[in-house]
Structure formats: structure tokens, C-alpha cells
Chain A
Amino acid sequence: MALSAEDKCNVKEFWEKLGENTHVYGTEALVRTFLSFPATKTYFPHFDHSSGSPQVQAHGKKLAAALTLAVSRLDDLPEALSSLSDLHAHRLKVDPTNFKFLSHCLLVTLARHHPGNLNPEVHASLDKFLSYVSSVLTSKYR
């Protein structure tokens, strides 16, 4: 399910509206993921998983920055995320199912904060974008 020109446009426009708050959303998405899908915490055994935890906030910021980079490089995502792909394949080894949980919780977070902008068409484009990012991040697993 490749990103169409319209998808890319929807994703870029939506992401621009998030402005300087992306780190807040990254953090909230993580908190939601840990609460709704507790098995995801197994990848962060050393974390305080509660909202407000400085570790979760720092990680949420990292996540947000990676997604912002991805949005700016929609035409060459595998290249843009190459070192992150390496990291996930050779060091982190996060089971691929978990990307779906995080992507879902990110969409929930964005719906909660920007309901007016997340109409079904934009939602579809973002869902495709997050699937694509997830598949790039797991592309070197085997």
C-alpha cells in the first residue's frame, strides 16, 4: 500500500499543524501504549512507565523527532530511516506487532488533540504513513 501523492500531501499538511507540540504527542502516545498494551513495557524494563516520567518524556521526544524526519523525507524513507532500521534490526529487535500498537496509540493521541483535522481521509493517509514507517523499521530483521 504505497503512499499516493495525495497521501503525502495529507501527511505533510497535518504534521505541519502540529507545530511545536510533536514531543508532547510522542510522549502521550507512549504512555497510552504502555497502559493499553502492557506487554510493550517489556522493551523498556528499566523505565518508569508512568506519564510524567522523564524517561518516557525523553523517549517520546526522540520518537516525535524521528517521525518529523520521516514526514520531511517521504520520497526516500528507507534511506532517511536507514540507521534507525539498523538499530531496530540488530540491537532493539522489537517484535513487529508492537509497531501497530504504537501507531494506533499515536492516532488516538492525534485524534484527541486535533479531532477536526483527523477526518477519515487524513486518518487513512496517516495510517498508511505509519505502516510504511513500521515496515521500513523492520525491513532488515531477516
Chain B
Amino acid sequence: MLSRLVLRAAPAALRALPPPVAVGVLHTTRPLHTTQQSLAPVPPLPEKGGEVRHGFIPEEFFQFLYPKTGVTGPYMLGTGLLLYLLSKEIYVVNHETAAAACILAVIVYGIKKFGPDVAAFADKLNEEKVSAAQAMKDETMRALQTAIEEEKKEQWRVEGRTYLFDAKRNNIAMLLETNYRERLMMVYNEVKKRLDYQVALQALKRQKEQDHMIQWVEKNVIQSITPQQQKESIAKCILDLKALSKSAHAAV
């Protein structure tokens, strides 16, 4: 019956406690949990631990005593307690006290000297973890952004595709036209060559005939020149030359 009461009142009590204490209670009672933790409104856990003064006294203790005894209250309490224990010999000073003083000095020295470095190291380890994840996230976001821009460019390119196709089509048409004209020219040239050949053949034939005829006529004329005719023509030529030379003399 009482356990039911406790179980019913536990979450509200837990929420009422200050966060560091709630964390402590949660952690200590974890072995007693019988069911899965409900994920629904879980009190947010604090990022850092509670404040402590002088390394081991929680700050809440000083706040607790502040209204009644002010700032020096806890220190008076501590000193009085210590002196009471020592004077009444509830704590006996023996060899362990010296050993305790030594180990305390070593611990305090160690913490004061190496404390900040160790804390910075721990923070660095955590920071590396976070920054690795953050870097991956940023990288992915950047890659996606780049992909978006690439996609937009592709879409713009698609719009220009029609112009590209038109240009290509014109190009091909021109090529075809050129090719056709070339072949036409070739045909024309071939035909002309054939015809020229025929014409040349005819011309040659006529030329040959003409030459042959001239030769035959000359041959026959030369054959028909008798020696009597030769003498007469030479005498006539000499008379003509004399007449010409006379007229030339007269001209000069």
C-alpha cells in the first residue's frame, strides 16, 4: 500500500527536486526500475554538475544556511565542528593524521596543478566528437546544396535543348545540301569529260583528214612542177626583185 503511494508520488517528487539531485536519485534507483523508461516528458538533464565550493561542499549547503547565519555561517560550523572533535578527542591525533595531511597535500597539489589541463583535455575529446559529427553534417548539407544547384543548371540546360536541336538540324541539312551539290557537280564533270572526249575525237579526225589532204595536194603540186616551169618562175622572181629593189632605192 505504501509502495503504491510511493510509486504514484515518485514522478511528481522527482520533478520537484532540483535537477542535479534528480539526476542523482534517478541514477541510484535505476536498478529498481522494472519497466522501460517512458520517453515522454522526461525532465531535461543538466549539462554540467552542481557547483561545489572548496572541491567537495555543494553550493546548495551555503545557500541553505545563508538566511539564518549569513556568509560566514557554514565556515563557523565547520571550524566549530573540527575543534569540538579535536578537543573532546572524538578524533584522536595519531600517526595517521600526519599521513592524512600528506596525502591531502598531494591530492590538492595534483588537482590545482593538473585540474584545468585535464578538464580541457576532456572537453577537447568531447569537442572533437561533436565537431566530427558537425563536419559530416555540414559536408552533407553542402553536397546537397551543390546537387541542388547542379540540378537547376541541368534544368536550364534542358530549356536550351530545342535551340541545340535546331542548330544541329540546320547543320545536317547544310551538310546534306553540300553533299548533294558536290555529287551533282561530279556528275556534270564526268558527263562533260565524256562529251569533250567525243568532241576531241572528232576534231582530231578532221584535223588528220585536213593535214592528209594538204600533204597530198602539196605532193601532187610539187610533182607537177616541171623543170621548164621552174626556170620561168625563177626568172620572174629575179625581175620582181630587181623592180622591188629599184623602188626601195627610190624610197630611201
Q: Do A and B come from one complex?
A: no
* Residues of B in contact with A (beta carbons under 8 Å apart): none
* Residues of A in contact with B (beta carbons under 8 Å apart): none
